[in-house]
Chains A and B, each alone.
Chain A
Amino acid sequence: MADLAKHGARGPRRALAHQGPVREFLVLRVGPEDYGVELTSIREILSPPPVTFVPRAPPAVLGVCSVRGLLVTVVELRRRLGLGPAPASRRARLLLTTGTSGEVFGVQVDEVKQVVRLSDGELELANTVFGGDVADHVLGIGRPKPGDGVIVLLDLVRLVDHLPETV
């Protein structure tokens, strides 16, 4: 994670040219789409350890695993977002985050790409873009580079705080 952050800080672009405070987002891939989650909400990024399936758990929950003795609830982001199950991939990563209740979650994503720095001008909050009618785990839209498309910014903590009983 430290490496990633450093890499991101250098950045492939000159985002600093823009005005206003800058927020750092980790760009990750789930299915065909790229998403961004704020770096401050991630405790750690690791290769997924063996996960033990927990029967009767909410569908987005893959199971539990142990990270250095800490019991972690593993949530698969694909299922949490209502996408189909992922084929096993060597690029899959687990993002550790802490829910509001203090429970430690590992959010499994298909791939971790890079860190982008978004200034106010490159970031549109959900309520202004979608007019309020949007899932509360969507933070907004980011435009890392003109002409480079947009990424949906997710609120990781909100994603794990409310795990639906059905997908």
Chain B
Amino acid sequence: MVDPGERAREEFFTEAQEIVETFSRNLLSLDATLKVGGDDPALVNEAFRAVHTLKGLAGLFGAVQLGLVSHRLEDLLDALRLGRMPLSSAVLDILFGSVDVCAQILEADRGASEPPAAAIEALCLRLDALGGGHAQQQSPVVEYELDPGMLAVLTEYEEHRLRTNIDNGRALYRLRVQFDLSTIDRALEEIKDRAKRHGEIITYLPTGESASPDTIELDLLMASRDDLATLIGTLGADNMVIEEVPRRRRPSLAAGTVPPPDLAGTLLSLAPPDARLEPSTRDDIAAVEPARSLKSVTQTVRVDIKKLDHLMNIIGELGIVRGVLSRLSERARSDGQRQLATEILRLHRSFDRRLGDLRDAVLEVRMVPLGQVFDRLARVVRQISREVDKDIRLVITGAETEIDKLIVEELSDPLMHMIRNAIDHGIETAADREKSGKPAAGTIALNAYQKGNHVMIEIEDDGAGIDEGALLDKAITLGRISRSDAGDLARHDLLGLIFMPGISTRDVAGDLSGRGVGMDVVKTNLAKIGGVIDVHSESGIGTKMTITLPITLAIVNALLVRAAGQVFALAVSHVSEAIVFDRRALRRVEGREVVSLRGQTLPVCRLAEHLGLPEPAEAAPRRFVVVMSLGARRLGLVVDAVLGQEDIVIKPLGPSISSVRGLTGATELGDQRVALVLDATSLVDDVLSSTDLASPEVAPRG
């Protein structure tokens, strides 16, 4: 049904997106190594490979802009990996900028809108500015008595590694090794692995001589700090001869007279012996060979999340069939057909078990690690901290925690806003921090962990904390709260003020950088994916925001209740308990019905009345209060009966009725009936909105 061209295009975008993300991750690692003064050629290589693949991909799909940008990036990274240009913070800035530009281009291409020409232009200009002024280094390689045959086939990269090693004062060794042809791949890897502890294998080349037809002799060029005796002691083997490559002094070949390009023979027109080697062991060949790098090596399939939703729906339907089987068995039993009943029951059990397995399997497929979004955040932290000139340490734990793909998608914006707020307004300037005896670098901790059927994400900073006084003043100025009520506010509710529209953390942190994003937006967006946010803050010590999210949206464990003769479902994640409704405990406080629950006041709402449903003529003898908890806010829902829990698949209501407040969808129950699913967030909002701050602890006791 889907146009194959369209599908290929979709895959192109997904793949390109993934590559850009990988690239971004590499840059972050590079940034981290650079900060401690290190250099990691493997990381530069990886980044190079990423843009190289991106370029190939762009070429295949005729994505001109992306091709242009990735081509320029490839040049830069090539220069970096070959040591023609030193890696610096400034270069990384440009590279980080390029990630955003690539993302913009992809977005524009996907939406068939105008490419971000200005951004591309700016990036190219910055790349141009980098390009000049980097003279080629002089090669000290010529000082060594190296086999010219070997030098002639060095790739530019290998040559660069050779030079770097010599520059770092490492000695060169030649390892002549006999390999068995059948095991050469493994044996070679093994030697490389062992050699890592002492230095680096720069290149290897067959000598063309071998003792027997089944063996091959290779010369391995190795650079190491250790002396020959140590190497022989640790690496040595029967099939190996290790020699040091002697230096030579020959005036005619003094540094400078032989330009490096002479050494950089083209690897691709390589001598035939090398063709016998497994190319994958030489990773930098793989990098320059598009056909290889475009081929997917992982055993994964990309699936549109909609298809998984469809699967989930079918599983929901099967759940209904399961219910029918169970009833059928009961009916057979009551009809006296005992044996048939037992057989159906057995069938039902086996069906139930398999269905459970199937459901778990599909749910598992939907899960992705939070690391996906955390990586993006790490980039944001780096960028913003540079913008505002604050030194920020981001500590991430629990990146491997898994959550529904749909939730991850909706999570990145709210998290980004919160992180931005933390850096912008939470963390003080270095000077202020030192004054209050804190380390100059601020720390933001991003923790994720699973707790039952929920995933918790904490964003914690060691900044100044929220200024409660200023927050209260602002709320009063905006008329969100009266001055008289203000005195009654518990601390917790006071902090809850930051989630009110119009109030931003900027106002209370006294910082004027003007980036404060309304926390009310963050809260609303999180609520859309079933998330709840809580805030804790200690003045001078820091602020901690805790987000509680359901693991998946596809299947919801729901509490079924009855009101006005109709069945409603309510996500269990929002329910803390259900108690028997005691009419005598009911009190009226400021026009609102409340009950006392363990010494705390709980506002209650009669569900039927709230929805405008007629109460049944005969009132239920015993009614119940379902206590809903949304973060710190609580509301008791008065219902006629609590019917039990069930795993439900929520289906959205049609557009003509989707705007009905208090409902989030509908679900099919076993008996072909449909139950409406209540939206806890909007119920609590609607009921508590008249006096927004009247959360349990605040309302006067009476």
A residues whose Cβ falls under 8 Å from a Cβ of B: 49-50, 52-58, 61, 63-66, 69, 71-73, 99, 101, 103-105, 160, 163
Contacts and interface: CB of A to CB of B under 8 A. Distances in A.
Contacts of A103: 654-656
Which of B316, B613, B654, B672 has the most C-beta atoms of chain A within 10 angstroms of its own C-beta? B654
B676 A52 contact: yes
A71 B654 contact: yes
Nearest to A53: B566
A106 to B, nearest CB: 11
Nearest to A69: B317
A99 B655 CA distance: 10
Contact of B613 (A55, A61, A105): A55
Contact of B654 (A53, A55, A66, A104): A104
A72 B676 CA distance: 13
A66 B317 CA distance: 11
A69 B653 CA distance: 13
A61 B663 CA distance: 15
Contact of B674 (A52, A57, A61, A99): A52
B612 A163 contact: no
A50 B672 CA distance: 7
Contact of A54 (B668, B672, B676): B676
A41 B611 CA distance: 34
Contacts of B668: 66, 69, 71
B675 interface: yes
Contact of A56 (B316, B317, B612): B612
Contacts of B651: 71
Interface in B659-702: 660-663, 666, 668, 672-676
Nearest to B608: A55
Given A64-B666, A69-B313, A71-B651, A52 B675 contact: yes
Given A50-B672, A73-B657, 19 more contacts: A52-B674, A52-B675, A53-B566, A54-B660, A55-B660, A56-B612, A64-B666, A65-B674, A69-B668, A71-B654, A71-B666, A72-B654, A73-B656, A99-B655, A101-B654, A101-B656, A103-B655, A103-B656, A105-B656
Contacts of B662: 55-56
A65 B653 CA distance: 11
Interface string B609-631: 00111000000000000000000
Contacts of A99: 654-656
Given A61-B656, A61-B657, A64-B653, A55 B674 contact: no
B673 A50 contact: yes
28 contacts: A50-B672, A52-B566, A52-B673, A52-B676, A54-B660, A55-B612, A55-B660, A55-B662, A56-B611, A56-B612, A56-B660, A57-B657, A58-B656, A58-B657, A64-B657, A64-B676, A66-B668, A66-B674, A69-B313, A69-B320, A71-B651, A72-B654, A73-B654, A73-B657, A99-B654, A101-B655, A101-B656, A103-B654
Contacts of B654: 64, 71-73, 99, 101, 103-105
Contact of B653 (A50, A66, A71, A163): A71
Contacts of B675: 52
A58 B660 CA distance: 9
A69 B651 CA distance: 10
A103 B657 CA distance: 10
B663 A54 contact: yes
Contacts of A58: 656-657
Contacts of A105: 654, 656
Contacts of B655: 99, 101, 103
Contact of B656 (A52, A55, A160): A160
B587 to A, nearest CB: 27
Interface residues of B, number: 26
A57 B655 CA distance: 11
Contacts of B656: 57-58, 61, 73, 99, 101, 103, 105, 160, 163
Nearest to A60: B656
Nearest to A65: B674
Contacts of B657: 54, 57-58, 61, 64, 73
B660 A57 contact: yes
A130 to B, nearest CB: 27
B678 to A, nearest CB: 11
A54 B657 CA distance: 8
Nearest to B317: A69
A73 B611 contact: no
A93 to B, nearest CB: 17
B666 A52 contact: yes
Interface string B289-319: 0000000000000000000000001001100
Contacts of B317: 69
Contacts of B611: 55-56
A63 B316 CA distance: 21
A105 B656 CA distance: 10
A91 to B, nearest CB: 21
A33 to B, nearest CB: 25
Given A71-B666, A105-B654, A49 B660 contact: no
A3 B317 CA distance: 28
The 4 closest A-B pairs by CB, nearest first: A103-B654, A55-B611, A52-B674, A73-B654
Contacts of A52: 566, 666, 673-676
Interface string B445-472: 0000000000000000000000000000
A101 B317 CA distance: 25
A69 B672 contact: no
Contacts of A54: 653, 657, 660, 663, 676
Nearest to A51: B674
B256 to A, nearest CB: 74
B566 A64 contact: no
Contacts of A55: 611-613, 660, 662
Nearest to A71: B651
Given A56-B611, A73-B653, A104-B654, A66 B672 contact: yes
A54 B674 CA distance: 10
B674 A64 contact: yes
A71 B566 contact: no
Which of A55, A58, A63, A105 has the most C-beta atoms of chain B within 10 angstroms of its own C-beta? A55
Interface string B52-76: 0000000000000000000000000
A51 to B, nearest CB: 8
A67 B320 CA distance: 13
A21 B217 CA distance: 88
A99 B657 CA distance: 13
B615 to A, nearest CB: 13
A65 to B, nearest CB: 6
Contacts of B666: 52, 64, 71
Which of B613, B673, B674 has the most C-beta atoms of chain A within 10 angstroms of its own C-beta? B674
Contacts of B663: 54
A61 B674 CA distance: 15
A113 to B, nearest CB: 27
A54 B656 CA distance: 12
A55 B663 CA distance: 9
Nearest to A52: B674
Nearest to B674: A52
A81 B656 CA distance: 17
Interface in B631-659: 651-657
Contacts of A101: 654-656
A103 B653 CA distance: 9
Nearest to A72: B654
A19 B367 CA distance: 63
B313 A49 contact: no
Nearest to A100: B655
A72 B657 CA distance: 11
A156 B672 CA distance: 26
A66 B657 CA distance: 15
A105 B655 CA distance: 11
